[in-house]
Amino acid sequence: MKHKISKLPELAKLANYSLLDNLTADPDATETGHDHQPREVFSGHYVPVLPTPLPEPEYISHSKVLFEELGFDDKLALDPDFIQLFSGDVTNLPAGMRKIGWATGYALSIYGTEYIQQCPFRTGNGYGDGRAISVLELVANNKRWEMQLKGAGCTPYCRGGDGRAVLRSSVREFLAQEHMYALGINTSRSLSLFVSKTECIDRPWYFEDSRSHDPETMVSNPVAISTRVAPSFLRVGQLELFARRARTMEHENALNELEQIVEHLITREYQDIAAQSPIPPRLTPDKILLLATEFRERLTSLVANWLRVGFCQGNFNSDNCAAGGYTLDYGPFGFCELFEPTYQPWTGGGRHFSFLNQPFAAETNFKMFCRSLEPLLQTQPEASEKLADIGDGFKAVMQQKLEKMWTEKLGLTAYNSDLLINLLQLMVNTKVDFNMFFRKLSHVPQHVSALEKSFYMPASEELQQQWTEWLQTWRALVNAQDNAEKLSEQMKQVNPKYTWREWLVVPAYQAAAKGNYQLINELQQVLNNPYDEQSKEIEDKYYQLRPETFFGMGGVSHYSCSS
Ligand SMILES: Nc1ncnc2c1ncn2[C@@H]1O[C@H](COP(=O)(O)OP(=O)(O)OP(=O)(O)O)[C@@H](O)[C@H]1O
Ligand SMILES: [Mg+2]
């Protein structure tokens, strides 16, 4: 059996900090990392920052799946040195590990409009990782990972915030990342979750059983640190920040810094492109075009997958769009239960980030990504034009990916737009549960009655008739008569049975605030195996329609605060 890492000094041997070696730091940063007040950062990729440890941290959970992948023994999660590090104390680390963390700046554009208003200095120089601090980069099983504490205290980008994350949002992020991974969707991953036994902070939140749209009160919740893991945490907003500076020549090194960050993105997230020719030689126009094409490929696949499982990211701005093409920022997200094309759980998100609008939101982020590469092709008109074509090509690639997704979801061999549109219309008219409906359909039923468990209301006779017709057409197209078993197996692999249901997650974070973590463990188990049939007990509890009482309930059906 392969040796597994169970102590921090062994883990330290895997440490490998490409970021700190290759990229420029903010020249105004202090070496000590005592840099916790909002301030402008004018250049450089990162600021060294000392995380603020959780007082009296307590272990809640870790991802066994990710531990396995990294070669970590489960015992490591309870090792006092491990707990110390991943609850924010980097002062006492073994040799090989740096006793400092780092935070990065990024820009924000909302639906294609560049913003600086969110920055306290109205320049954009004070926006970035306000409460996320990376503490480690390592190479495990030939893969490079960056480990980032979320809620580890203030950074220069904290904008007057407290730098903390409450337990509620940390539990959600911790569970959701691994759930998405289990659903087969690219995402940042969860390593561990620790809570403070003594520190609490207030956030705007809802009264119990609230029907209010906006939070009515401040609610105290323990602070927590979840550690997320990804090949990098580079966002479209990051490139955007450097491109804005390059465009206006804000400082003499601005274009060079943009080039560096793009090279860094390629090294960290696009190894196939990096392998084509080592960097340096410096970034070539060909590489830039390959990067744009590959990101387009990943982003369109990602969003098609989101739609496949009913996921709504909620706030798909450029600063929440990972340049590696994976899901990032599990704050205002939600999973569509009752199917509504404009489902959006975050009250601040508006329709443009709603469920079926996500392909357009992605396109806007992609255009910003391309725009951020343009300054690097200033002297290359031909390559510039190609880049514009890649941007314009987004729609067609997105459409292809969506068609493929719906085709697979319906078990068809070819896309059938009439069939799909009729179905979506019927789903809306009948008020069906998105994921439960597709799972029931994956059993290749003969009669509508087998789908009815996924309906939130009894279907009228007229609707029943329409369903019967739709089902007949579908069954004929998938050749259900001769093919049911194989088809069912295939469809179940893309139509999950167990997906995130907010009303089943709420009790888990509520119990956790009282020191009981059992429901979190149970949810991990259920959500980590979304395509499997699980026990009858689990089915009765988790494969259920949202009870009526949770509709319109603040904090369950919608939320305004995600931090
Ligand atoms: N409590 C806080 N203290 C300091 N900064 C914060 C706090 N909450 C959010 N921010 C910062 O505000 C910005 C917007 O917040 P948003 O909710 O998108 O991010 P987040 O959930 O903290 O971060 P991420 O995108 O890293 O998952 C981010 O740059 C974030 O770092
Ligand atoms: Mg964010």
- Give the number of the ligand closest to the Cα of residue 327: 1
For residue 89, what are the domain limits? 8-233
Q: Identify whether residues 244 and 224 lie together within a single domain.
A: no
Residue nearest to atom 6 of ligand 1 (CA): 130
44: left (phi over 0), alpha (psi -120 to 50) or beta: left
129 lines ligand 1 (CB under 6 A): yes
- Answer for the pair 147, 229: CB distance below 8 angstroms, yes or no: yes
Q: Which of 374, 405, 436 is the last residue of a domain?
A: 405
Q: Identify whether residues 213 and 297 lie together within a single domain.
A: no
Q: Which of 178, 198, 233 is the last residue of a domain?
A: 233
- For a substitution probing ligand 1, which of 47, 133, 158 has the most ligand atoms within 8 Å of its CB? 158
The pLDDT tens digits for 519-530 are 999 999 999 999
Q: Identify whether residues 427 and 311 lie together within a single domain.
A: no
Residue 284 lies in a domain: yes
Asked if ipTM goes beyond 0.95, one says yes
Q: Identify whether residues 205 and 108 lie together within a single domain.
A: yes
pLDDT of residue 481: 92
Whether the ω angle into residue 280 lies within 30 degrees of 0, i.e. cis, is: yes
Distance 315 CA to ligand 1 centre (A): 12
Q: How far apart are CA 167 and CA 516, in angstroms?
A: 12
Residue nearest to atom 27 of ligand 1 (CA): 329
Q: How far apart are CA 215 and CA 218, in angstroms?
A: 8
- Beta bridge partners, 115, equal 108
pLDDT of residue 1: 67
Q: How far apart are CA 225 and CA 284, in angstroms?
A: 40
How confident is the model over 352-366, as a mean pLDDT?
Answer: 97
The pLDDT tens digits for 206-259 are 999 999 999 999 999 999 999 999 999 999 999 999 999 999 999 999 999 999
Backbone angles phi and psi of 36, in degrees to 5: -115, 10
Q: Identify whether residues 290 and 383 lie together within a single domain.
A: yes
Please count the structural domains in the chain: 3
Q: Identify whether residues 37 and 22 lie together within a single domain.
A: yes
Q: Identify whether residues 382 and 247 lie together within a single domain.
A: yes
Residue 383: in which H helix or E strand, if any?
A: helix 381-392
- Beta bridge partners, 222, equal 200
Residue 1 lies in a domain: no
- Beta bridge partners, 455, equal 432
Write the DSSP assignment of 166-225 as a string of letters.
EHHHHHHHHHHHHHHHHTT--B-EEEEEEEEEEEEEEEEEPPTT---SS--EEEEEEEEE
104 lines ligand 1 (CB under 6 A): no
Q: Identify whether residues 98 and 204 lie together within a single domain.
A: yes
For 104-125, letters b (16+ CB in 10 Å) and e give: bbbbbbbeeeeeeeebbeeebb
Residue from 259, 233, 239, 236 nearest 366 by CA: 236
Q: Identify whether residues 53 and 16 lie together within a single domain.
A: yes
Q: Identify whether residues 395 and 418 lie together within a single domain.
A: no
158 lines ligand 1 (CB under 6 A): yes
Q: Identify whether residues 461 and 393 lie together within a single domain.
A: no
By annotation, the residues acting in catalysis are 319
The pLDDT tens digits for 454-477 are 999 999 999 999 999 999 999 999
Residue 2 lies in a domain: no
Q: How far apart are CA 410 and CA 495, in angstroms?
A: 9
Residue nearest to atom 8 of ligand 1 (CA): 563
Q: Which of 405, 436, 457 is the last residue of a domain?
A: 405
Q: How far apart are CA 315 and CA 308, in angstroms?
A: 18
